[in-house]
Structure formats: C-alpha cells, structure tokens
C-alpha cells in the first residue's frame, strides 16, 4: 500500500485520535457535502423546470421547420418537397399558411396570428390535448370549420365557447384591392366558431389555428404556404435529416430545428443555468478552501510525526503526499456523499413530490426534477479541480522547516 495514502487514511479515520483537528476536518468535509448536494439538487430542479417549459413550447414547435430565406410564401408543389413528403422517416408533414389579422368578437377586437394548417397537422403530433384549457382541439367536423384559439385571444375578446350564436369575425386586407369609399370593401371578412382554447406561452397564446382551406380563402392565397412543419419518428436523427433537407433545398430555404426556432428561449435557459451554477460553485469553493485551514492545523499538530518521518529518511515528496492525499480524501468523500444524498433527494422528489410549490399551477403542484448525468460529471469535475489546488497549497506547508523540526526532535 502507498505509504502516503496509508498515513493520510490513518490521520483522517483513526478512531483513537478524535480531537479538535478531526472535528475541523469533519466540518470541512460537511461543507463539501452540503455544497455538492445543493449543486445537484438545484441543477436537477432547474432541469425539471426547463423540461416543462420546453415541453410546452414543443407542443406547437415542430422538430423541423422549412421557410423561405427571403420572402413570405412559396409553392409547396415544388418537386424538391415531394421526396420528403412521402419519406418514411417523417410522421407529420404539415403545410402552414399564416398571417396576422384583425379578430372581432362582439364589440371587442384584437390582432392575432391566424395559422392555417393542413389536415396532416394532428398526425403524430405531440399531444395537443394537454395544452387545451377548455373545449377541445377540433378544426373540422361535419364539413364545418372551427378555430382553436390561444388564451390571450379569449381574454382580450371575452370569448364564450358555449355561445353558439356568436362567431369570431376575422378581417384580412385584400390583395391588390383598389381604394374604395367604403373601407370595408378592402378587407376579406370571414366568420368561424371557436371549438377550444389552448394555453402554452405568451408567444403562442395570441394565435388561432384554423384549417388551411379557411386561411387560403381569408388571405386570398390559392396555393402558396408560409412554411412547412415536420415531425419525425423517435428513432430518426433530426440533425441528420435537417442537414439532408437543407442540402436538397439549397440556399433558397432555411431549415430550423427547435433550438433555432426558439433561440432566445434556449439562450435564456442556458444562461440562467450557468448563472446558478457559478453562484453555487463560489459557495462550494469557499467550503473546499476551508480544507487549507484544517490541513494547516493538522500540520502543526503532527510536527512531531513529520520530524520522525524526516529522520527516518522520508523525503519532502512523501510528506507532501500525505497531506495532499488527506485534503483530496476530505474533498472526494464529501463530494461523493453529497452527490449521493442529492441523487436520493431528487429521486424521492420525483416519485413523491413532497416539496410543494406555493401557488401551484394547473401544470404542476410540486417542484419538478430532471436528473442528468452531465450534472454529476460537472459537479465532480469542479470539486476535483478546486480540491487539487487547495490540497496542493496545503501540502506545501507540511515540508517547510523540516530541518529545524529534526533538530528540535
């Protein structure tokens, strides 16, 4: 057995030497334990919130979205799209025509994004029913068109889904309309009844989803679409398919994955997570650097042992190794126990949800948890790096004045 490791282990775990030094070492280990556990728990809770936010966005964000690099609409009958429309890897290929329009309900009015979708919209989609707060997700029934509106539209216009005698009136400017004495002649006006209300995020809640045929008639667009939405099978690599579609369509089109469709959201989530990690890491660094104090006191307490080892022929490297290994053991044991405690806490919270959220929403009533292996690697690597520095500083103190210690002995 390595001599430095054996002596360091005896200093740290010896039952016969329970004194102030061991107590201080235990406090240092406890600091690393609490810091490591806190990092794992906070990062996991943040992952849980991140998963919930992304799942809500993903309800209405396709895995891939094709749009023009320049311009607003294009012909979906282009032969380049035919190959992918019938591709077995794609379970949902939706043509979308969207534009902002004025929506009136009774005496109230608001600007909304009218999104017309083809019949394939519901095929293989992420469950849209989970986002419905009232009514149901119906776009066509018995030959009649319906609209599913966002909660913001419902709030602005005070829409009553149960009122069968009132409809949503949608106004869209006519293309190439000449100036008229009557401004109403310059607009296409169509009515549609709402079938349901969804609530996701503010970005989507000001949108109304309608059949694409209704949108074409409203917007005066016979065949063109604004974009194409694609969802794939679970076993398909989205990145590979994105690259393949991009190469096939050329520079005229842009193919975006979910992170590119919601760049601001992903940047905010990542920056918040790193900010939380850095704040907690500073706390952990302070806890780890307490090891310098405890090892310094241990060096003072073990002066006699150092002098004896030096007299027996131990070089400075062996003596430094003893206190370096002891510092690493304090850090690693504290880190390992802390990460294990954090993992147990997260698993219990996942299964039982015993810590409830104040003012719980309809989506969740307890703090969500998302466990990621990368978080454990990150925490362990951080503790390891800081511990190496702290232990190296402390071990240098152990070999100072070893000559004078031998003379005193």
Domain boundaries, the chain: 3-57+265-408, 62-261
Higher pLDDT among residues 242 and 3, named by residue: 242
Question: H helices then E strands: how many in the chain?
Answer: 13, 11
User: In the numeric block, which tokens belong to residue 235?
Assistant: 């076993």
In angstroms, the CA 200 to CA 128 distance is: 10
In angstroms, the CA 225 to CA 233 distance is: 24
The answer to whether the beta carbons of residues 132 and 197 sit under 8 Å apart is: yes
| 3-state SS, residue 364 | coil
Taking residues 363-370, report their average pLDDT.
79
Interval 248-268: pLDDT, tens: 888 889 999 888 888 887 888
pTM above 0.75, yes or no: no
* Dihedral angle over CA of 331, 337, 342, 345, nearest 10: -160
pLDDT confidence tier of residue 12, bands split at 50, 70 and 90: low
| 3-state SS, residue 366 | strand
pLDDT confidence tier of residue 145, bands split at 50, 70 and 90: very high
Interval 173-195: pLDDT, tens: 887 655 655 566 678 899 999 99
User: In the numeric block, which tokens belong to residue 255?
Assistant: 């193919």
Interval 205-252: pLDDT, tens: 889 999 999 999 999 888 899 999 998 888 888 889 999 999 888 888
In angstroms, the CA 376 to CA 374 distance is: 5
In angstroms, the CA 242 to CA 57 distance is: 19
User: In the numeric block, which tokens belong to residue 43?
Assistant: 């990062």
Query: Residue 71 — left, alpha, or beta (φ > 0 → left; ψ -120 to 50 → alpha)?
Result: left
User: In the numeric block, which tokens belong to residue 395?
Assistant: 């071990």
Helices (H), 220-371: 238-249, 258-261, 263-301, 303-311, 316-352
């Amino acid at each position: 057995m390595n001599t430095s490791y054996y002596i360091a282990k005896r200093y740290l775990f010896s039952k016969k030497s329970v004194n102030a030094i061991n107590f201080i070492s235990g406090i240092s280990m406890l600091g690393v334990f609490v810091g490591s556990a806190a990092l794992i728990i906070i990062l996991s809770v943040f992952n849980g919130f991140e998963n919930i936010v992304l799942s809500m966005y993903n309800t209405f964000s396709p895995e891939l979205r094709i749009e023009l690099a320049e311009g607003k609409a294009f012909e979906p009958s282009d032969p380049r799209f035919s190959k992918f429309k019938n591709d077995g890897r794609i379970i949902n290929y939706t043509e979308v025509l969207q534009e902002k329009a004025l929506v009136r309900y009774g005496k109230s009015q608001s600007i909304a994004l009218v999104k017309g979708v083809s019949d394939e919209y519901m095929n293989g989609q992420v469950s849209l029913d989970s986002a419905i707060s009232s009514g149901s997700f119906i776009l066509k029934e018995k030959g009649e068109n319906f609209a599913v509106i966002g909660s913001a539209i419902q709030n602005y216009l005070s829409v009553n889904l149960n009122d069968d005698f009132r409809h949503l009136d949608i106004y869209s400017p006519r293309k190439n309309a000449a100036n008229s004495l009557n401004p109403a002649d310059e607009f296409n006006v169509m009515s549609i009844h709402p079938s349901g209300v969804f609530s996701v995020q503010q970005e989507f809640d000001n949108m109304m989803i309608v059949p694409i045929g209704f949108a074409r008639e409203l917007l005066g667009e016979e065949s063109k679409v604004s974009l194409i939405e694609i969802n794939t099978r679970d076993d398909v690599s989205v990145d590979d398919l994105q690259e393949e579609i991009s190469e096939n369509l050329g520079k005229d089109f842009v193919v975006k994955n979910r992170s590119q469709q919601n760049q601001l959201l992903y940047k905010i989530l990542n920056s918040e997570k790193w900010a939380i990690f850095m704040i907690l890491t500073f706390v952990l660094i302070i806890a780890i650097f307490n090891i310098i104090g405890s090892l310094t006191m241990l060096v003072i307490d073990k002066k006699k042992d150092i002098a004896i080892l030096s007299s027996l022929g131990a070089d400075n490297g062996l003596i430094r190794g003893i206190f370096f290994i002891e510092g690493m053991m304090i850090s690693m044991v504290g880190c390992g126990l802390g990460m294990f405690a954090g993992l147990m806490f997260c698993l219990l919270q996942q299964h039982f949800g015993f810590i409830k959220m104040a003012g719980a929403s309809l989506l969740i009533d307890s703090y969500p948890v998302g466990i990621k292996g990368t978080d454990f690697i990150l925490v362990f690597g951080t503790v390891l790096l800081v511990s190496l520095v702290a232990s190296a500083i402390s071990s240098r103190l152990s070999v100072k004045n070893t000559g004078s210690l031998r003379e005193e002995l």
